[in-house]
Structure 1
């Protein structure tokens, strides 16, 4: 894709040049696809709005990375210039005295005025090579809902995603790998069903897995082969009673105690951690552990038999209505439901049992 560049020449009368030159501070452009408007020039910034295909905006500034600041009827922000196209300029009047030119490049708009005689056409500036995106640090795989690394994106380090949220479930169309990372995508949750290994960048996934993945694993080296497990004996469920229950409003970067419902203090069990503005986790702390499972309401009996671990649960893996089992640092079985997800807070309802 080429970086957005266009030249607009509008012939105007000599008497209006001065007023026009001070009024033109933006150039119109149209979105070529469904396009996120972000709070800063890069995919690491939050999404403020979405442009519809063909929606016209005003470009007020562009930076060397290829991102441009736009204004429109919704919240103003930054978009990738690769997905903008110039709006066709009005026809040149038959007898101009002067011409007024606007050139939009990576460093912003440039203006020029030509008066007297036949205006010399403004040469089309050369198309610069699109900047190479900075790869994530370490071994990581990035997954995209569009082919050729387009559409919605999320990146994941070495680990397992047993379920995908509604944005990416059955929607992954391309995969880009960084470092020594490889990826395994499966058609069903918990890495079951038909699986395909991706060991090189895949701008278009093969038909066997394209738009069908419901779980994935990012790994390095050889894919670990799990040893066959013995058939477990049924685990008797002990008697239990409710120890503590209620709602918790958890601000981003804060921790909560699932034994008491308190936010902060000693004995906390979960941490609402933000690695980047678009990568947030629910992380067990102080000896606590979590089990996302299938995200259903399993109650004490179901959570008691879950397999807990200390891995963080990515916020992209859950949605409103998802249940997460927990074992507190004090050894009690607990479960919390995701009630609401805000940009800087998380609302949950929890129940912890004694047994």
Structure 2
């Protein structure tokens, strides 16, 4: 059987239990009757059930649960153990022993997903480049500039000296910022997004990103 894989990434502030982004989907069907729930687990409320052979669109999976989009009935989460790929050629169903392959990696730049059908493992998620972005306003607003990890500047120029008010990181990047030029004076290392900089607000004169 031919195999196909779709790889996609999403950058979102938080992962919601009910997906808000579902650009791509894979057709599947229920191998037997299975409950549909509001979240990925038996502790979530039942909102309906799939009948054996019912065809759905599988939007994404989390652990052993998949969010399914139903042609009729309430959308929700169903156990992946009761789902199989659907070929749809002449209305036939694919063999139920062919597994769905899903993967998800979450980093500081947001989640990235991978999806495939077949016996091979899912492809590796697309890596998020390590970057540091500086903003002149609080809460990541106003003018901004971004640098790759490994960049340093001992003497901020171009109107950015003593003008940085918030910092956003992605791809696991970190940055050490200092109050004076050439990495002198008080310094601190930032390892997560900082919408407010406290005593470093409008006071940074040099940095080292890594």
Quick check: TM above 0.5?
Answer: no
TM-score band, normalised by the shorter chain? 0.3 to 0.5
Structure with higher Rg: it is 1
Q: Which has the higher contact order (CA 8 A, sep 6+)?
A: 2
Tell me the TM-score normalized by structure 1.
0.23
Tell me the TM-score normalized by structure 2.
0.38
